[in-house]
Chain A
Amino acid sequence: MKTKTVKRKAAAPKRLLSKLWQLRLYVTDTTPKSRTAFANLKTICETHLKGRYCITVIDLLKQPQLAKGDQILAVPTVVRRLPSPVRTIIGNLSDTERVLVGLDLRPSAQPR
């Protein structure tokens, strides 16, 4: 399993690494969950996309009308606006591996 991941690791990200990443983090208020999510996201971006990313934090309590556009249901949610296609990850992003898969920074393990 590990060998597989390693093998594809090189192929997928290369295509995307050069572009600017635009991420949106939808939260409600400054709950601990929201803060954890932001911290986790930042760590991942710093590790994998240093200097090529920008995170917009949207507080749905202040801008509820924005929830409809990105079909936000769960909170927190990270939406990768760019590069396309749009990808969505829900949760507090504590599972780094899944975040990487979700953001296309690492291909998902097929057998799962």
Chain B
Amino acid sequence: MKTKGAKSSSPATRLPKCPTGIQGLDEITGGGLPRGRPTLVCGGAGCGKTLLAAEFLVRGAVQFDEPGVLMAFEETEKELKANVASLGFDLEGLVQRKKVVIDYVHIERSEVQESGEYDLEGLFVRLNHAIDSIGAKRVVLDTMEVLFASLPNEAILRSELRRLFRWLKDKGVTAVITAERGRESLTRHGLEEYVSDCVILLDHRVNDQIATRHLRVVKYRGALHGTNEFPFLIGAEGISVLPITSLSLNHKVSDQRIATGIPRLDAMLGGKGFFRGSSILLTGTPGTGKTIIAANFAQAAARRGERVLFFSFEESPDQITRNMHSIGLRLEPMIKSGLLRFHSARPSLYGLEMHLATMFKEIAEFKPHVVIIDPITSLMDSGTDSEGKGMVTRLIDFLKASQITSLFTSLTQGSHALQQSETAMSSLMDAWVLLQDFEGNGERNRVLYVLKARGMAHSNQIREFLISDRGIDVVDAYIGVSGVLTGSARVAQGDLEKAALLAGQQEAAQLKREVERKRTALDRQIGDLRADYESEALELRRIAEQVGTRTFVLGTERAASGILRQADLKVAVNTQTKSKPMRNAQ
């Protein structure tokens, strides 16, 4: 895509290019090899010269409809076909369909006697015939230098080679000439002297027991090109060059947020989780639960119906699924439904760029929404620091360009969570969640905090997270006098608070009872007083009655004594009867 863009934007005056179709190479050279000119590909034994040339030819014939001629000086037609067939190139079929012509040129020095002047017109005739027979646009001369060993007269050979390259240019074919690398110069026989339009150097180095192939465009007349050394590899589909400098920070970003699968963690991230398409780093010391959080993330994505690609560099897929069972996380249904795919490989299996290429391939094939790399550190360890960082950069770049959310776990050694490599890597990451062990009270407890999260408000608090058979639970950690309290200390603190609460409740109850008692006492007193009063009142009534009776009795007794005396009874009666009407009259 990038090459297409570059092509369309380039002015017409630019050098016409001939796309190789080789992954990455067209990107470095800005569109391909110079069209109609010869290109020299040099390198030591076994670094892939012939293959590069053959792929150039095959892809030309298949993808760009440009037939090609392969003039082989080292390998026979049969050998060549067999060799490239292992990379999926059907040379045989192309030959039959008249897309490719292979001409094996062989000269045995011992069988040839030289006498007098000659030239290499025979070679020209053969090449010309081959080109014209299929209308070839591309020509590969695979290790012409063999001629230096076959033909005794170097002076003639040199002048003829010069003529040949001139002739190829005139013929208008794009040629690739391979040459063995010399000790001091680019090629053993100084072919770079004649082929000066484009020179590509291949190299195969062993670093720390891991062999890496490199490609460098030494020279490209009339065009801008990447000058760095680029790692390349020969995979099942031919050569792929991995340009680091394809970093063009202009990928689109998404406002969409995706949940992490742990509600409390989402809450810490502004309540919504991470941004889609962001890169997330999850660092932690051993056993802090990085893989578990990653698996949770994967599950959450799969539940949303998104595809997840899980690159595991330490555990096998079966082991991860089994281990996740212990926290109640079932990954098999997702694997079965095709939403989750594992890719496990040992980091030391092959070099970094091979890992990267396989990852690219898997990603391109599976088209995931979420990619998890567990852990990135063990992968980075298999290369040098700069290689590792370069790899991560390329990977993140690639993932961001395709809007894939990526979660990298990173293992840190020792108790200190921040290490140099992480600091270097962190600048590439959008979010960074740190997992840590807290040691104290004879136990280790896991805590989690968000170190950074670009573009969102996030909690600055340390949270404890618990792993149980029901999954992950993030809980508040107590901040005590001695720092953060986790684990049993947190539980103890909780108990303490509970006890205080209970004490308070008890006190209140006590008080209530007291009041109750007082009220009862009061009631009782009131009752007593009333009883007193009533008994006194009763007494009073009784006395009053007594007094009444006595008065009556007294009266009766007087009357009786009056009768007895018969004296003033009438008077008394009169006074009694007289007084009444008087009162009425009044």
Interface residue ranges, A against B (CB under 8 Å): 26, 28, 33, 36-37, 40, 60-61, 64-65, 67-68, 71-77, 86-96, 98-99, 101-102
Contacts and interface: CB of A to CB of B under 8 A. Distances in A.
B115 A95 contact: yes
A67 B125 contact: yes
Given A64-B129, A67-B126, A73-B107, A94 B116 contact: yes
Contact of A90 (B115, B129, B147): B115
A93 B103 CA distance: 27
B112 interface: yes
B115 A75 contact: no
A60 B119 CA distance: 13
B143 to A, nearest CB: 14
B129 A89 contact: no
For B113, B115, B123, B126, which residue has the most chain A Cβ atoms within 10 angstroms? B115
For B116, B119, B147, which residue has the most chain A Cβ atoms within 10 angstroms? B116
A68 B129 CA distance: 10
Contact of A64 (B113, B117, B126): B126
B455 interface: no
Nearest to A76: B118
A87 B115 contact: no
A91 B115 contact: yes
Interface of B: 103, 105-107, 111-123, 125-126, 128-129, 147, 151
Given A72-B122, A98-B113, 7 more contacts: A26-B122, A60-B121, A67-B126, A74-B123, A94-B116, A96-B115, A98-B114
B118 A74 contact: yes
Nearest to B107: A73
Nearest to B112: A88
B103 A75 contact: no
For A33, A71, A87, which residue has the most chain B Cβ atoms within 10 angstroms? A71
B114 A89 contact: yes
Contacts of A72: 122, 125-126
Nearest to A44: B115
Contacts of B111: 86-88
A10 B147 CA distance: 35
30 contacts: A37-B116, A40-B116, A60-B122, A60-B125, A61-B125, A64-B129, A67-B125, A68-B103, A73-B120, A74-B118, A74-B121, A74-B122, A74-B123, A76-B118, A77-B118, A87-B111, A87-B113, A88-B111, A88-B113, A89-B115, A90-B112, A90-B118, A91-B114, A92-B118, A94-B116, A95-B114, A96-B115, A101-B113, A102-B113, A102-B115
A68 B113 contact: no
A86 B108 CA distance: 12
Contacts, number: 96
Contacts of A61: 125
For A72, A92, A93, which residue has the most chain B Cβ atoms within 10 angstroms? A72
B24 to A, nearest CB: 36
B122 A67 contact: yes
Contacts of B115: 89-96, 98-99, 102
A95 B116 contact: yes
A64 to B, nearest CB: 4
A67 B128 CA distance: 11
B129 A65 contact: yes
A53 to B, nearest CB: 17
Nearest to A94: B116
Nearest to B113: A102
Nearest to B119: A75
A68 B111 CA distance: 16
A65 B114 CA distance: 24
Contacts of B129: 64-65, 67
For B105, B106, B125, B126, which residue has the most chain A Cβ atoms within 10 angstroms? B125
A28 B125 contact: yes
B158 to A, nearest CB: 14
Contacts of A26: 122
B163 to A, nearest CB: 13
A74 B151 contact: yes
A48 B125 CA distance: 32
A99 B122 CA distance: 20
For A36, A101, A102, which residue has the most chain B Cβ atoms within 10 angstroms? A102
A68 B151 contact: no
A71 B114 contact: no
Contacts of A93: 115-116
Contacts of A73: 105, 107, 120, 122-123, 126, 147, 151
Contacts of B122: 26, 28, 60, 67, 72-75, 77
Contacts of B107: 71, 73
A25 B333 CA distance: 77
Nearest to A71: B106
A41 to B, nearest CB: 10
Contacts of A65: 129
A60 B122 CA distance: 7
Nearest to B129: A64
B78 to A, nearest CB: 15
A4 B345 CA distance: 71
A86 B116 CA distance: 20
B10 to A, nearest CB: 38
Contacts of B123: 73-74
A106 B125 CA distance: 32
Nearest to A60: B125
A94 B117 contact: yes
